[in-house]
């Protein structure tokens, strides 16, 4: 049995197609459009986070590069912090330039993240050149030493000058 086109109700088909289109429109309006808005907001947030990440990464790389340059340019000083200070070795070193060197340990403490040992040094010298030569050679000593002022100098016997000063030895905290 064949149906003819005359029996088909065009109004019902148009209503069915129209209701289908309205249903599709409502689905798009209530589900797809809000999802697109959420996607745009999340994508903008992602781009902001990505920009922040690369800014921080660039700062990190810059600091890492500066730290590496600092380490290579100050390698000698950084190694000097690791060398343990030996009072007897320093006395022998000082006696190359000064006479009758006596070193007395006073105390140890922490300062700026480093261990510090405070010493008093008493000595004699004959000429000022040896005194200044000692200061020049002190830069080559394998520990980090800081002289505290004042440096006390007294003329004891005409050719000899008696002196004393305090000095600090800086070491890494692990070596104290």
Domain boundary among 42, 57, 73: 73
Which CATH number characterizes residue 131's domain?
3.30.2000.30
Domain boundary among 20, 55, 73: 73
Helix (H, G, I), strand (E, B), or coil: what is residue 113?
Answer: coil
For residue 176, the model assigns a pLDDT of 43
For residue 136, the model assigns a pLDDT of 81
Q: How far apart are CA 60 and CA 76, in angstroms?
A: 25
β-sheet bridge partners, residue 147: 167
Q: Are residues 13 and 46 in the same domain?
A: yes
For residue 6, the model assigns a pLDDT of 67
Q: Are residues 120 and 159 in the same domain?
A: yes
Q: Are residues 96 and 137 in the same domain?
A: yes
Q: Enter the pTM of the model.
A: 0.53
* Residue that the structure tokens 């480093």 belong to: 114
Q: Are residues 65 and 125 in the same domain?
A: no
Q: pLDDT tens digit string along 56-73?
A: 999 999 999 999 998 888
Low-confidence ranges of the chain (pLDDT < 70): 1-6, 80-81, 156, 173-176
Q: Are residues 46 and 91 in the same domain?
A: no
Q: What is the distance, to the nearest Å, from the Cα of residue 130 to the centroid of all Cα atoms in its chain?
A: 40
Domain of 18, in residue numbers: 1-73
């Amino acid at each position: 049995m064949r149906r003819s086109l005359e029996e088909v109700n065009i109004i019902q088909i148009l209503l069915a197609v129209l209701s289908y289109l309205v249903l599709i429109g409502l689905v798009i309006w209530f589900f797809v459009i809000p999802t697109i808005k959420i996607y745009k907001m999340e994508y903008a947030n992602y781009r902001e986070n990505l920009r922040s990440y690369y800014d921080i990464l660039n700062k990190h790389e810059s600091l890492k590069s500066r730290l590496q340059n600092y380490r290579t340019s100050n390698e000698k000083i950084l190694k000097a912090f690791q060398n343990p200070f030996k009072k007897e070795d320093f006395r022998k070193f000082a006696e190359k330039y000064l006479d009758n060197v006596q070193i007395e340990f006073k105390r140890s403490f922490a300062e700026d993240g480093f261990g510090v040992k405070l010493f008093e040094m008493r000595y004699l010298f004959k000429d000022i050149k040896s005194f200044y030569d000692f200061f020049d050679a002190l830069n080559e000593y394998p520990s980090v030493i800081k002289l505290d002022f004042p440096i006390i100098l007294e003329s004891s016997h005409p050719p000899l000058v008696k002196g004393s000063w305090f000095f600090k030895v800086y070491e890494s905290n692990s070596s104290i």
